[in-house]
Chain A
Amino acid sequence: MAGITSYGAYIPIYRLSRETINGVWGGTGKGEKAVANADEDSLTMGVEAARDCIKGVEKDSIDALYFASTTPPYKEKQSASIMAAACDLKEDIVTVDLTDSIRSATIAIMMALDAVKAGSARQVLVVAADTRLGPPDTAFESLFGDGAAAFLIGNEGVAVEIEGSTCLASEFVDYWRLEYDKIIRSWEDRFIREESYVPYVEKAVSALLKKQNMTAKDFSKAVIYSPDRRMQPAIVKSLGLDPKEQVQGLLFDTVGHTGTALVPMVLVSALEEAKAGDRILVVNYGDGADAHALRVTEEIGKLKDRRGIKGYLAFKIQLANYGKYMRFRDLMEWEHDLFMERRMALPEVWRRRNFYFRFYGVKCTKCGRIMVPPPNVCIYCQADEKYFEEVPLSDKQGKLVTYSMDVRSRALDPPNVLAAVNFDGGGRFFSQMTDRDPDKIEIGMTMELTFRRIHDALGIHNYFWKCRPVRG
């Protein structure tokens, strides 16, 4: 039976404490929310989760990548294809962005299952990520966090079988954004709960239970979407689920509501605790509802090295204040910049796409040394580039050789840390360092690589790699 063969997740390192938000607007919000760094967006977070998910996986078996998000960085220009390159996937791959609905993540999983079952794909990588914003000074602002999750759907080595699904579509309007809206709009919450959320979730679940000939008691865990903090208890009660034993926590106190990524992330956290034989109910909501019956197999044991939710929750840096958050999410009008735009020539990016997106260096077959970016002539033995072969370096770790911290930099998260990293096994990367605590940088520390949005110019998002202190 087809199902989930691997999972991965990602939580950005920055957290904004709800006390900090309360301090600005009032309110009684508790806990904290994860905030994407200034150089992150749904695409880069998706790459992180995808790379966590495909660790050790034979990449040639991935025949499709579906990216689900309500906040893709481009309106026109696919994120999934950039993501596929950053994950160093093959070129003959089906890529698509599924957007405009919170449910596009679970629908993507259903579509992936269909592709696998039909035999048109061996494995499909499904990635969900979001950086949704609530209006400032509302409960949504306080609740919404950023994050990503990814699943590999296949029919060999299945760790979580997807035994059955139901899916309902609805024209109900509850939350929406117009083309140029940064923050969500919504109708009155009781109307949403009573007329749409509760009835559609109930309908989807009861159809599933009937189809699978199961009852709510058969599930060891239930992952149930909720648009906010208050709606879920009503449905838990009406479905007859035990809120303490059966309902998987929604990560609202530690990560926040991550939109399209919410159900996938919560499912990953459930799978991190799951054992073979466990049955999990997954319910997503938005423009209708869908429900899924999952069964965990013995193969779950081979996924223990995923960083997942647990791994990424363990690393965090508190955002010092709300102003930083406004900077990261561009929530104000700022000082006009007299500097020339940092425009990047698209032909240059295209010529060296294997370097910028896939982070390939080269190995000189004359002297054996590794270089990045690829030069025209070996910088060690001056052999011509015809003696070079490409080597993928994005999974490398290395040691910090030296660094500086530019306090006056125009970076959105100063200081801008410049770093020189020597990779284990060869190669030196001169790099920006991200996701770091400036007080904890030391020569010799272990670094890894991360795909980031470096800067925007001419309306183009320029992506490339940075180093960061290793997580884990």
Chain B
Amino acid sequence: MRESIKDKVAIVGMGCTQFGERWDADVEDLIKEATTEALEDAGIDIKDIQAGWVGTGRGSQQVPMGPPSAIIASSALQTQYIPFTRVENLCCAGQEALRAAAFGIASKCYDCVLAIGVEKLKDTGYGGLGEMYPGKWEPLYGALSTPPGRYAMAATAYFSKFGLSPQEGKTILAEISVKSHYYGARNPKSHLKREITVEEAVNAPMICWPLGLYDCCGVTDGASAAVLVPAEDAKKYRDDYVTIKGFAIATGAGWGKENEDYDFTYWAETREAAKVVYAEAGIKDPRKELQLVELHDCFSIAELIATESMFLCEHGKFREEFTEKRAYYHDGEMPVDVSGGLKSFGHPIGASGAREVYEIYKQIQGKVEEPSRQIKNIEIGLAHNQGGHPGRFVTGIAIIGAP
């Protein structure tokens, strides 16, 4: 890397829509809703924006030609001929939008840019994410490999490798989901707001063995947006801005499932991205130095493995280091997903990356919507996002902190 991005780019405004099954809103409505909040938060007008990036997996279109262009954003916001670009990197799309916007600032091409993440999933008429359009191998090789199907293979493998009975394994996962629902219930913008118990989670209807209903995130609509400016200009907008400490994208070689040596119990891409971003941000002991981790918990097992793969505890030690110590609660030693996470806050594919950053941004400002989950004296947090599936991920990590 030629130069670190640390402290060069500031976020001075953020917005996030209500997440959920947004029967009232289409993809452009969601973009408008998140962006309006971000602009108001930054105290600027849409005319101040010089360029924009919108991250989305599918927009709202389950059609053969794939998702739409960035015109969904320029049209919703009526920007007048400024550059707007759509970025896509599966569930990393929102983080890719932030990264592209940050590079636009760091390159000194622009003074004020917009990053948006959005997804409209609930206009399809069915649950889940739908079929892939024909491509290499798909949908014949790997037919019916749903996201739960693929992540559950990791749970089975993890239980087996670390000698956990299905009951023990499911209980560890249930504890994670109880925490996610606890915070979902304490976040006004979250999708799922009902608290659950370990017993409910363990005994819930099976979705994909060994993952039950409460081990899986729902299908959610939503958008999030951020206004980025050069760090040296940030004070013109507000005092409590945050800066970007590091970005990493690790795009896996994509053949983990077919690699005899891969055992499905760790995320190789997350390990690599973590190493890069820790180096860029100057973090030596992540568990001690990070004050909040918002990670990609589309499934309970995804939280467990991502936690280990970001070196927040030793491989195989999640139960001792997180479950038993309750370390992942907002008042614990290493808070994780205290927004409710993808699991309870919701996971509109392209929106999640920027939405995680939104939680860290609000936490650092001491302005989370429901004060009972406010972390005390927090100055730095990490947002982790991954797209694809075990063995074939693209992972993005951003570290955000007080200047």
A residues neighboring B (CB under 8 Å): 338-345, 348-349, 352, 355-356, 369, 371-373, 375, 379-380, 401-411, 415-416, 418, 420, 422, 426-430, 432, 438, 443, 454-455, 462, 464
Contacts and interface: CB of A to CB of B under 8 A. Distances in A.
A455 B144 CA distance: 10
B143 A464 contact: yes
Interface residues of B, number: 51
Contacts of B128: 408
B137 interface: yes
A345 B358 CA distance: 41
A406 B146 contact: yes
B206 interface: yes
B288 to A, nearest CB: 33
A339 B131 contact: yes
B91 to A, nearest CB: 19
B197 interface: no
| 3 closest residue pairs by CB, A with B | A404-B152, A402-B157, A405-B209
Given A341-B131, A345-B134, A402-B156, A411 B208 contact: no
Interface stretch (B252-260, B329-337, B341-349): B252-260
Contacts of B258: 371-373, 375, 379, 428-430
Contacts of A355: 141
22 contacts: A340-B133, A342-B139, A343-B134, A344-B140, A345-B135, A348-B136, A356-B140, A375-B255, A405-B206, A406-B146, A407-B208, A407-B209, A410-B144, A427-B260, A428-B257, A428-B258, A428-B262, A430-B141, A430-B142, A454-B140, A455-B140, A455-B143
Contact of B124 (A338, A375, A455): A338
A404 B143 contact: no
B160 interface: yes
Nearest to B139: A342
B150 interface: yes
A192 B135 CA distance: 53
A123 to B, nearest CB: 32
B50 interface: no
A418 B255 contact: no
Contacts of A418: 144-145, 149-150, 152-153
Contacts of A422: 260
A404 B140 contact: no
B144 A409 contact: yes
B155 interface: yes
Given A339-B131, A405-B209, A432-B144, 14 more contacts: A339-B126, A340-B130, A344-B138, A401-B264, A404-B150, A404-B155, A404-B211, A410-B144, A416-B144, A418-B144, A422-B260, A438-B209, A443-B160, A464-B141
A432 B143 contact: yes
B209 to A, nearest CB: 4
Contact of A415 (B130, B133, B154, B208): B208
A438 B62 CA distance: 32
B164 interface: no
B185 to A, nearest CB: 25
A343 B262 CA distance: 30
Nearest to A349: B140
Contacts of A411: 144
Contacts of B64: 340
B207 interface: yes
A438 B263 CA distance: 21
Nearest to A419: B153
Contact of B153 (A345, A403, A438): A403
B148 interface: yes
B259 A428 contact: yes
Contacts of A405: 152, 206, 208-209
A43 B148 CA distance: 32
Contacts of A369: 260
Contacts of B140: 344, 348-349, 356, 454-455, 462, 464
Contacts of A341: 131
B207 to A, nearest CB: 5
A428 B260 contact: yes
Nearest to A403: B156
Contacts of B139: 342-344, 455
B160 A402 contact: yes
Nearest to B138: A344
Given A404-B149, A404-B153, A462-B140, A340 B62 contact: yes
